[in-house]
Amino acid sequence: MDAERDEARLGSRAPHFIQASRPLHLVWKVGVFVVGLGVIGGGIILLPLPGPGWLVIFGGVALWGTEFVWAQRMLRWAKRKVTAAAHRAAAPEHRRRNIVLGALALAVVAALVAVYVWQFGAVLPWRIRG
């Protein structure tokens, strides 16, 4: 029953007056595709740069998901995978491992901060004079 209801919600989310006119709906779909492609292209450019590249890429796919069924299915698949990974990470059998790894990461960061303060003192990195 839920699968049937989910399938019924797939499809275009364009306003009804746009869906009523076939040529206008085609122009709408092309516009959504081009804008989504631009957003995804911007995300790809941001991947090697400091910025939220993957977030922008998923935003572009979500934009496509407002109009295209294949993008809606891809987003649902990704949501299921992320939810399953979050449940696995929070499972009791993995909790001890995650706590140990977190504590280890915290110890490494604390050691790096200690070495930095020992080497340069409590000076911000951009104020160090070479």
From residue 34, give the alpha-carbon distance in Å to each of 37, 38, 100: 5, 6, 46
Helix (H) or strand (E) holding 79: helix 69-90
pLDDT tens digit sequence for 26-45: 899 999 999 999 999 999 99
pLDDT reported for residue 6: 57
**65 phi/psi in degrees, rounded to 5:** -65, -15
- Of residues 18 and 73, more confidently modeled: 73
CA 89 to chain centre: 18
Task: Report which DSSP code applies to 47.
Answer: S
pTM: 0.59
Q: What is the DSSP letter of 129?
A: -
Q: Which value, to the nearest 10 degrees, does the dihedral of the CA atoms of residues 108, 111, 116, 119 take? A: -140
